[in-house]
Amino acid sequence: MSEVLTIVSLSADASDPARRAPGATGPVLIRSKQGWSIAETSVKPAPELVSWLEQEAASAGFDWAITPPTGRKKRLLISDMDSTIIGQECLDELADFAGVKAAVSAITERAMRGELDFAGALTERVAMLRGLGLEALDRCHAERVTLNPGARELVATMKAHGARCVLVSGGFRFFTSRVAAMAGFVADRANTLVDDGFRLTGEVAQPILGREAKLAALVEEAASIGTAPSDALAMGDGANDLDMIAASGLGVAYKAKPVVAARTRARIDHTDLRAALFFQGYAPDDILSS
């Protein structure tokens, strides 16, 4: 069965790799506007297609997705927050206020690569924050947290077409609640930092939301709108996103760790989050700014 190959670029003609891709049968549909070059073509199964795309994308700077020809526009967007919807790892930035960023960041990197147990790594990192005043959380959000390009447009456009948009994070609700409001998500799920009213205790409220809980969130959120995980776009960058991404109808690796990218057929490394709309068949004129 033929699938759809979508190539998206902000720096080159997307139609050229679309025509040359292994298994491409054409014709090539081209959509271009405001610097975007988007090309779609039908492809037959070709064992070498993914490796070819990886090599070409690295040198030409384009993003790509291979999707079924039907059911492309999803009714659910469920996305990781840190290093996906925002450009930071909130726990790492918060650790900077406690003077332990280097140690915390090193653990974060290993956990996101799948080298450490997520819950154990989270517990270890949060313990380093014991005694940090709660005012640091407000400062961290105000001074450090920024949305990645295309985040608002992705959420606004999918919401306008009837999709439910949910933020799900192995981080903390202090940040997800604020980022959800910034980007337009209608709901958020995350962990909770324990405090004594003045300072962090160095503990995480149980149960910890990790890899399994992200998958459960996908299933539950899909059921809440009467659909299946196959009708969802799931997006993330770290190993704790893998089950959620694998179970969705369109799993997108956003500037992801190798262990995540290797399990996906849709990758954003060179453009921005709006590419996830083009992967679903949206045209540039469909995109809303907020």
Annotated catalytic residue within 13, 16, 80, 195: 80
Residue 130 CA: distances (Å) to CA of 107, 113, 144, 209, 221: 17, 25, 20, 20, 34
Is 243 marked active-site? no
Annotated catalytic residue within 82, 92, 188, 231: 82
Query: What is the spatial distance between Cα 132 and Cα 144, in angstroms, rounded to a whole number?
Result: 17
Place of tokens 């503990």: 203
Closest CA to 37 of 267, 284, 273: 284
Query: What is the spatial distance between Cα 159 and Cα 155, in angstroms, rounded to a whole number?
Result: 6
Partner residues linked to 147 by β-bridges? 86
In sequence order, what are the residues at sequence separation of 6 or more whose Cβ sits closer than 8 angstroms to the Cβ of residue 114?
Answer: 238, 239, 242, 257, 259
Partner residues linked to 204 by β-bridges? 193
Is 241 marked active-site? no
Q: Where are the alpha helices (DSSP H) in the chain?
A: 15-20, 49-60, 90-97, 101-112, 118-127, 135-144, 151-160, 173-183, 211-224, 242-247, 258-261, 275-279
Closest CA to 169 of 160, 161, 177, 158: 177
List active site positions.
80, 82
